[in-house]
Amino acid sequence: MRVLVDTNIILDFLLERDPFIREAEVLFEAMASQRVVGYVTATTVTDIFYIVRRQTRSIERARQAVIETLAAMEVCTVDRSILETAITSNLRDFEDVVQLACAIDNNLDAIITRYPQGFAGSILPILSAGQLLERLG
C-alpha cells in the first residue's frame, strides 16, 4: 500500500513523542519491511527540519531527522499546480490540503494521520497508523 504520512506522525517517530511513538514505530517498521511505501511532501521535509531544530535546539539533530525521513520515504513534489489546487479547496487547513493534493497527484492509496478532521471531505481514505496496520493484517 502506498500512503502519504502526515507530518505529526513523522515527528512522533523522530522526536519519540509519547503517547504516539508506538504507532509511529510500527508504521516505520512496516515501511522498512516494504509492506508500506511511505510518502511525504517536500514541504513536510522543511517543516520537519524547522520543528526538530526548534524543539531540540540542535541543527545537527534537525539534519539527522531529514536524513532519516528521506531514507524511509519517497518525496512528493510540491509545485505550482499542487499549490493552485490546494488554495481553491474547501478544506480549512492549507498544509493538509497540500498533502491531500500531493497524495491525489501521486495516486496514493490513503493518508495516514492522527488528525482525520483536517481531511474531512477527502476523496482518499484517511486512516490512523493503527487502522492502516489493521488493514494490512
pLDDT tens-digit readout, 11-31: 999 999 999 999 999 999 999
Q: Is the pTM of this model over 0.85?
A: yes
Confidence of residue 117 (pLDDT cuts 50, 70, 90): confident
> Nearest 5°: CA angle at 124, between 22 and 129?
5
Residue 37: strand pairing partners? 2
In the block, residue with C-alpha cell 508500506: 36
What's the average model confidence in pLDDT over 3-18? Answer: 96
Mean pLDDT of the chain: 94
What's the average model confidence in pLDDT over 112-120? Answer: 86
Digit-coded pLDDT (tens) for 51-94 = 999 999 999 999 999 999 999 999 999 999 999 999 998 777 88
Decide which of 64 and 119 is more confident: 64
- Taking the CA atoms of the chain, what radius of gyration do you get in angstroms? 14
Cα 35 to Cα 40: distance, rounded to the nearest angstrom: 16
**Structural domains of the chain, with CATH:** 2-136 (3.40.50.1010)
